[in-house]
Amino acid sequence: SPAAASPLLANLNPEQLAAVTLPEGNALILAGAGSGKTRVLTTRIAWLLQTGQVSPGGVLAVTFTNKAAKEMVTRLTAMLPINARGMWIGTFHGLCNRFLRAHWKLANLPSTFQILDTQDQLSAIKRLMKQFNVDDERFPAKQTQWFIAGAKEDGRRPRDVEVRSEEDRKKVEIYQLYEEQCQREGVVDFSELMLRSYELLRDNDVIREHYQRRFRHILIDEFQDTNRLQYAWIKMLSGVTVEGRFVPGGSSVIAVGDDDQSIYAFRGARVGNMADFVREFEVQRQIKLEQNYRSFSNILDSANALIGHNTKRLGKNLRTDQGPGEPVRVYESTSDFAEAQWMVEEMRQLVREGIDRKEIAVLYRSNAQSRVIETALFNAAVPYRVYGGLRFFERAEIKHALGYLRLLENKDDDTSFLRIVNFPPRGIGARSIELLQDAARAAGHSLHDAVSAVGGKAGANLSAFVAKIDVLREQTVGISLREIIELVLDHSGLIEHYKADREGADRVENLEELVNAAESFVTQEGFGRDAVALPVDELRQSPASQGLDPSRPMIDEALEPLAPDAETGETLSPLAAFLTHAALESGDNQAQAGQDAVQLMTVHAAKGLEFDCVFITGMEEGLFPHENSMSDHDGLEEERRLMYVAITRARQRLYMSHSQTRMLHGQTRYNLKSRFYDELPEAALKWLTPKNQGFAPSAFGYGGGYATSRGAGGGSGGSGYGGGFGKESFASPPVPPQKAAPSHGLRSGMQVFHNKFGEGTVLALEGGGDDARAQINFPRHGVKWLALSVAKLTPV
């Protein structure tokens, strides 16, 4: 058996072993969370390499995040002494970027094309819409952005979009103009990376056949979250279409996924790709993994019970041999602030018990929830790291610095030009910029090239700015990336600007961190592993030099020359490579890298990861499940899958918490606790606070009555504390509250009497008129928020 010889294969269960050692051919591995899917995928690559069935250049593996890709490379290099650079392991975006870097000419891109992140894309769209006088009330820029991304992810160029209304026609027109603008400026957005490389594969037989021969083994993790275009891209790499019908080709494609963890439908993911894959790739082998190695059974039982409430499932089982472990702890707090305080205390206890901080994760449904938690952690001096959210490379000061760098690299990058032309302020006003934009449009030039066409004082200021950039560009010739960045920070005036700002200290620190980021990019990453076209030499390395058994024949056609334009050996400058890295990588690792820090992230960002201890916060109706998804069945099922992902991140300890009140988007919300609690097995839970504490419906205006009447309270609606669904319902509750006297006459610190809760002390007051509410500490019932238009309070 293949297992006998290789220590790689020790410790795999029989199903895992079968998956790792699958013979050639397409296969689907369908299995629940923590069953070893990712581990199987990594081990299979190692096994294929070790047994000489493929060389590193013949493997293409797609992961969902950069972090996952790095981890896979790390694990592989630990298992085998190979040169990981030859392997194509990365995210869809990372791999497409690499592909386009190698074939930029055929892809009709400048060799130094830069990537627009989501923020840049939005500002590029706004700029364009302004320029063409598009009504942004009728066509909000954000919606336009979604429309364009959606079209691209369906593989549609403007001419392919079906136009059914005047509205559609306008949108398509904007899409068309946006494409022209990007092309002129030499920039591509994320979906463009995918679409462009898909089209190149589709339209260029030589390139397609080359890569089809080259990638003998294609492996895709988290397959349930692939979108239409990604699936089409994989098909392009692994088969041909004959008379309109797809015929799988010579490569073996292994898709690994879990339908219960499909959580990106809102971004175009198609769980239906799994069924299509089985059919179109004529999959003969499907493997299910049912043993969970991650979590104790209280955690796993909770996950299983919860997801059992979904109706649309392919159906899988998960069991664990680990014992029950600790119960899942549930906590109710009075406010989001108190929730964060409690969490910090609990974390301190965990750390005292010997848990590493980086093994503690706080998960939330919405990014906006992190602020309160961050504040509490910061005040308690607990090191923490936020994943996602505002990434390092997305911070304003960093974007400004990158703007200068990008303009040095590509003078036609108008987005960058506009970002920094008057930052730090140098007296170039909106009117001057408008004049410049008009001149540029008239002449068909970039903003940079059009400054000489603007006269007067405005023209002089603009020319001075462009001269400054051009001088900087000359000065960067022949110096290191670190020196380039230092030069730009000094001469742009950015550092000086933030130093003069009383609250700019953090920003100065971040800018200095950018120098470190560049430094570690150059040294650790061998700069731009992803960004640089693969040197052909690397593919010609002998098996022996890659730590493989030289006596085995290499079944690999990667030794053929690459397509002509990849052979020129042209690589990016370190600066261009770094800018690509900044756009593609989250940059999470920059600040506080290497620290033992608590991990904060959204549930979406936690997919595929695992931690000893997990806190799921904000378990409230309207938040989790999210209010946007609660009204329809499919939306609710996706929320439940998201909850399933959250629960299954935990190895040992799981906490869930909710709060009676929460400040979100500048509004106090009074939420019911999440219906998901009612879907968990009572035996696995331990309530740290009394289970049904909270407002009695009669005490609160938009109380249980409202919640129950919408049926939104799930099993606990009637007995739970009441609450609206945030802003909208607060503004216009369906049951009009009785009019209260305009002045309630309460002050904080005052003693009041409530005929149900007895005597209490007013802690805080908020809002006015019908919206007035008070936070009151009732010694016998705890702290509560009451709506004064409804609650009967008498001063004592």
409 in contact with ligand ATP (CB under 6 A): no
Give the separation between CA 100 and CA 796, rounded to whole angstroms: 75
Distance CA 216, CA 488 (A): 45
Interface residue with ligand ATP, options 51, 126, 127, 293 (CB under 6 A): 293
The least CB distance from residue 614 to ligand ATP, in Å, is 12
For residue 654, the minimal CB distance to ligand ATP (Å) is 14
Question: Which of the residues 346 through 385 are near ligand ATP (CB under 6 A)?
Answer: none
| Residues 597-636, mask of contacts with ligand ATP (x by CB under 6 A) | -----------x-x--------------------------
Annotated binding-site residue? 268: no
Query: Measured from the CB of residue 343, what is the shortest distance to ligand ATP in angstroms?
Result: 23
Q: Residue 35, annotated ligand binder?
A: yes
Burial label, 146 (beta-carbon count in 10 A; 0-12, 13-18, 19+):
middle
403 belongs to an annotated ligand binding site: no
Q: Of ligand ATP, Mg ion, none, which one sits near residue 34, judging by CB under 5 to 8 A according to partner kind? A: ligand ATP
Nearer to Mg ion, 65 or 112 (CB): 65
Nearer to ligand ATP (CB atom), residue 262 or residue 657: 262
36 is in an annotated binding site: yes
Rounded-to-integer distance, Cα 481 and Cα 788, Å: 62
Q: Which residue carries 């953090």 as its tokens?
A: 506
Shorter beta-carbon distance to ligand ATP: residue 36 or 403: 36
Active site residues: 37-38, 221-222, 261, 649
Q: Is position 447 an interface residue for ligand ATP (rule: CB under 6 A)?
A: no
Should residue 314 be labelled a site residue for ligand ATP when binding is judged by CB under 6 A?
no
Q: Which is nearer to ligand ATP, 33 or 439 (CB)?
A: 33
Smallest distance, ligand ATP to C-beta of residue 92, A: 17
Name the residue with the smallest CB distance to Mg ion.
38
| Per-residue binder mask for ligand ATP (CB under 6 A), 14-33, x = binder | --x--------------x-x
Place of tokens 């009555």: 705
Single-letter amino acid code for the residue at 365: R
Coil, strand, or helix at residue 758? strand
CA distance 334 to 508: 37
> Of 44, 51, 129, which Cα lies nearest the Cα of 89?
44
Of 345, 330, 335, give the one whose Cα is nearest residue 377. Answer: 345
Binding-site ranges for Mg ion (CB under 5 A):
37-38, 608
- Nearer to ligand ATP by C-beta: 450 or 605? 605
* 8 Å CB contact between 253 and 220: yes
Separation between Cα atoms, residue 281 and residue 409, nearest integer Å = 43
Q: How many CB atoms lie within 10 A of CB 296?
A: 22
Spatial separation of the C-alpha atoms in residues 321 and 330, rounded to whole Å: 24
The amino acid that residue 737 corresponds to is: P
Determine which residue in the list 171, 217, 294, 773 makes contact with ligand ATP, applying CB under 6 A. 294
**Rule CB under 6 A: is residue 406 a binding residue for ligand ATP?**
no
Contacts of 759 (CB under 8 A, 6+ apart): 751, 752, 753, 778, 779, 796
Closer to ligand ATP by Cβ: residue 31 or 377: 31
Name the minimum Å distance from CB 86 to ligand ATP.
Answer: 24
Q: Helix 505-524 to helix 481-492 angle, to the nearest 10 degrees? A: 160
The CB-side HSE value for 561 (13 A sphere, CA atoms) comes to 7
Q: How far apart are CA 480 and CA 574, in angstroms?
A: 8
Residue number with CB closer to ligand ATP (9 or 489)? 9
Pick one of ligand ATP, Mg ion, none as the site partner of residue 293 (Cβ within 5 to 8 A by kind): ligand ATP
Binds ligand ATP by CB under 6 A, chosen from 8, 22, 36, 454: 36
Give the nearest distance from C-beta 70 to Mg ion in angstroms.
14
Residue 34 marked ligand-binding: yes
Q: Which CB sits closer to Mg ion, 60 or 102?
A: 60
Task: Give the residue, chosen from 20, 22, 26, 38, that forms a contact with ligand ATP under the rule CB under 6 A.
Answer: 38
The one among 13, 341, 422, 573 contacting ligand ATP by CB under 6 A: 13
253-272 binders of ligand ATP (CB under 6 A): 258, 261
Q: In 3D, which of 19, 613, 554, 30 has the Cα closest to residue 275?
A: 30
Instruction: Indicate which of Mg ion, ligand ATP, none lies near residue 11 (CB less than 5 to 8 Å, by partner kind).
Output: ligand ATP
Q: Are 326 and 612 in contact (CB under 8 A)?
A: no
Long-range CB pairs of 691-695 (<8 Å, 24+ gap) are 691/330, 692/716, 692/719, 692/720, 693/332, 693/721, 693/781, 693/782, 694/332, 694/660, 694/720, 694/721, 694/784, 695/660, 695/670, 695/721, 695/722, 695/723, 695/784, 695/785, 695/786
Residues in the annotated binding site for ATP: 31-38
List interacting residues with ligand ATP (CB under 6 A).
Answer: 11-13, 16, 31, 33-39, 258, 261, 293-294, 608, 610, 648
